[in-house]
Structure 1
């Protein structure tokens, strides 16, 4: 006996067809932008490291030489030479280091080429570190950090006041760089700042003391 399909009731129609529901909310495709911080972290790390190194090494060099030669010209010339040499050294060292990392990761990508989809491999290549960006960021940051003690000492003729101003300026900058490193690395702010500050004081004190001893021996 043939059966006749019954038409769905209004309630069933309302349940199965959401377009007839006046309370139904229209659905829209929402694009969520995913930010990749890995590439940004590469040059930020190089910049923070370079600025801190430029600040500390230049200040320690100036104070160390100032322990023997107290005139402002010698102190500034020493700091300027240290800034140029240090910036070049940081750039070359960062370039070689990051390029080594780049080569290692590229070799791994080639080994995985047969096992991964082409799109995935291309995404991995885009996230590789850029040696040129890291080198440039490190060199510029080193020079910026080195300018702090240079500018602090440039306009002060008195030796004791000059050294005190350099130490004070470097102290403030070390606290700033330590805090910036903590924020970027999501580390404890106070501990990171104190660690950088105490390390900077020790570096300047040791350089000053050893240079003073060497200078007093007449070597």
Structure 2
């Protein structure tokens, strides 16, 4: 093969390279959840307060308090939740390590049975298990028996930071809207900005994750609108009852 042919083949291989999105699942879930929650909860709070005929300063204060409290709550909740997952994963890996030390032959047969269920002939399954065990037996069992991989391993700090930061970012649009729009129009302005931003977040999340864009956009916009409508109704009723 000539140099030009080799170069062309290398370019073709790169162009044919597959792009997968599973490695993004960990941070993408936390980021999308944080941004959507920050936008929707802050907007709903502010719309509810605005529907109760509150002044601009009260609406803005509600938004700021909602952002700060929500971001801290998201960070703490995500950290605790993902830490529990990480602890469970570590415990499972440690149990597997002890089992490999106590009875390696049984564990090898167990792994071979897994490969045979996936379609490998017995002889080939045993050969694969032998080769993998010589390289890193624990890694092979962790991946194929427990289903724990580098891409799925829980990272509590990463999830907590992503959730808090995205919650803060998601909560900014309604607060900025309240700062810029007159009090007489703030309710509808926040609602419109929130729905449009939810649509953008839905599209961004779907595109980043490689999923269809339209279902993601419609889903967040519809449910976001329902949430704000319910909150606005509660605020209006409360104002009417108190007034």
Q: TM-score, normalised by structure 1?
A: 0.77
Other-structure match for 1:156: 181
CA distance in 1, matches of 2:150, 2:205: 25
35-44 or 147-156, larger mean C-alpha shift: 35-44
Please tell me whether residue 169 in structure 1 is matched to residue 173 in structure 2.
no
1:197 corresponds in structure 2 to 221
SS in 1 for 2:242: coil
Q: Deviations over 1:74-94 (max 9, x none)?
A: 000000000001001100111
Note if 1:120 corresponds to 2:139. yes
TM-score by length of 2: 0.70
Instruction: Please give the alpha-carbon distance, in whole angstroms, between the structure 2 residues aligned to 1:39 and 1:109.
Output: 21
RMSD: 3.0
**Which of 17, 25, 49 pairs up with 1:65?**
49
* In 2: Cα distance, 1:24 partner to 1:154 partner: 66
* Structure 1: distance between partners of 2:210 and 2:149: 27
Structure 1 pair 201–24 and aligned structure 2 pair: CA distance change class (3 A): closer
Distance 1:210 1:191 in 2: 29
Stretch deviating more after TM superposition (182-191 or 121-130): 121-130
1:172-187 alignment runs, 5 A limit:
172-187=196-211
Q: Determine the structure 2 residue equivalent to 1:13.
A: none
1:69 deviates by: 3.5
Cα separation, 1, equivalents of 2:94 and 2:207: 35
| 2:160 counterpart (135, 141, 148) | 135
* 1:214 to 2:198 alignment: no
Residue number in structure 1 paired with 2:85: 101
What runs of 5+ residues in structure 1 fail to find an aligned partner? Answer: 1-22
Tell me which residue corresponds to 1:56: 40
Separation of aligned partners in 2, 1:152 and 1:180: 21
SS of the equivalent of 2:217 reads helix
Tell me the SS of whatever aligns to 1:217: helix
The structure with the greater share of residues assigned to helix is 2
- Check conservation: 1:178, 1:192, Cα contact below 8 A: yes
CA contact (8 A) 1:46 1:134 kept: yes
Higher relative contact order, chain-length normalized (CA < 8 Å, sep 6+): 2
Q: How many Å separate the matches in 2 of 1:111 and 1:208? A: 52
Is contact 1:69-1:75 (8 Å) kept? Answer: no
